[in-house]
Amino acid sequence: MSGPEPNSEYSVKTTIAKKEIEINAMTPALAVADESPTRYLQQLNLLTMTRHLSMLLMEAQKHRGTSMAVLEGDSAFEPQVLHEHSIIQRLIDVLSHLNKNHCRANLQKKWQDIEKDWQSLIHNWRNDTVIANFEFHSHIIESMVKLIWELAGEADYFSLVYEQSAVAAGGDLKSALFYSEKNHELLIQISLKLIPEMLENIAKLRGLATHASVRGYCDGVTQSHFSYLLQSLNLNKEKLRLVSRSLQHDALRAVPSLPSILLHEHKLDQLQLMIQNKIMNNEEISVKGLYIFNFATEIIDVYSQIIRDAITAFQRRLEYALLK
């Protein structure tokens, strides 16, 4: 009676062990594949909230300037204030939905505080002084800017891992908008940190300059605000120049509004000179409030295009990562 061959049991165990090793080796890859759609949706939701929050930021800044003019007595701005109310409420509704369903608890709380403060402002702004209205708006807008920074910190937009795999596979770098990881981080810093901070300083200048123009003179408190903001804006411009110089061609191509932005800086210089010479240091202001509001708004619109273009680039990277 012959029994099993001496090495048969060993061979079976070895085969099983090998299969287990193969399965275990495959598990991480399978897990990554399974997590990819979930991660895509998480990143897309963060990006969508960032986009809408930046839109709300611009509208809140307009509301600050127009409401200051109304409080100063210029009824020509009244229709625009009411228009801003409607736009802002729609954006708040969208952001509240996104926040409730897709954000972490710490970000949810920060958004809820912004929403609560804004509703308080809307109900009471007509009873405020011009400067109190300016300060309360500025507090809320600063909270929005900080929340944009935090949303950027939460995101990675499928950057390095997918860049390497696309390059290895010979992917189309132009259509995929792939650029170095360092440049990706620089673009996030420029579009979601430096530009929002810079735009807020320009928007504050717009609100104060419109207010002073409607009043017809610039008091000491407003002069002090102007001095600080003009200095801050010069620092913003220098930071933007320095960081932009580090970007490579592919990254500049991904955000088409960025290379041309320095060509528009002369208009920002004109705004600063106008505020210094015709408003801040002029006993009797002759510049019309509506003119300076519109002039500053054109500048803000040019710079804000960088935010929109960058978010579009980040979204295209996400989509490429999902479909590759």
Q: How far apart are CA 132 and CA 143, in angstroms?
A: 17
Q: How far apart are CA 114 and CA 143, in angstroms?
A: 7
The secondary structure of residue 277, as a DSSP letter, is: I
Nearest CA among 203, 101, 105, 96 for reference residue 145: 203
How distant is the alpha carbon of residue 147 from its chain centre?
A: 9
Phi/psi for 43 (5° steps) reads -65, -40
Q: Residue 38: what pLDDT?
A: 80
Tokens read off for 165: 């795999």
The predicted-structure confidence for 85-136, as pLDDT tens digits, reads as follows: 999 999 999 999 888 776 677 788 899 999 999 999 999 999 999 999 999 9
In contact, 281 and 42? CB cutoff 8 Å: no
Tokens read off for 164: 């390497």
Q: How far apart are CA 220 and CA 310, in angstroms?
A: 39
Q: Residue 159: what pLDDT?
A: 56
Q: How far apart are CA 175 and CA 317, in angstroms?
A: 9
Q: Residue 27: what pLDDT?
A: 39
Q: How far apart are CA 129 and CA 124, in angstroms?
A: 11
Q: Residue 258: what pLDDT?
A: 86
The predicted-structure confidence for 238-282, as pLDDT tens digits, reads as follows: 999 888 888 887 788 888 888 877 666 889 999 999 999 999 987
Which residue is associated with the tokens 């109310």? 85
Q: Residue 140: what pLDDT?
A: 97
Q: Residue 100: what pLDDT?
A: 79
Q: Tell the burial category of 306 from Cβ atoms under 10 Å away from its Cβ (0-12, 13-18, 19+).
A: buried
Question: Which residues, including other chains, have CB under 8 Å from residue 133's CB and lie 6 or more apart?
Answer: 64, 67, 68, 71, 125
Q: How far apart are CA 198 and CA 229, in angstroms?
A: 10
Q: How far apart are CA 82 and CA 29, in angstroms?
A: 54
Question: Which residues, including other chains, have CB under 8 Å from residue 178's CB and lie 6 or more apart?
Answer: 162, 163, 166, 167, 171, 250, 317, 320
Q: Residue 269: what pLDDT?
A: 93
Q: Residue 262: what pLDDT?
A: 63
Q: Which pLDDT tens digits describe the chain residue by residue (324 residues)?
A: 444 444 544 454 455 445 444 434 443 433 344 457 888 888 888 899 999 999 999 999 999 999 999 999 999 999 999 999 999 999 999 999 888 776 677 788 899 999 999 999 999 999 999 999 999 999 999 999 999 998 888 776 655 444 444 444 444 444 445 677 788 888 999 999 999 999 999 999 999 999 999 999 999 999 999 999 999 999 999 999 888 888 887 788 888 888 877 666 889 999 999 999 999 987 789 899 999 999 999 999 999 999 999 999 888 888 877 776
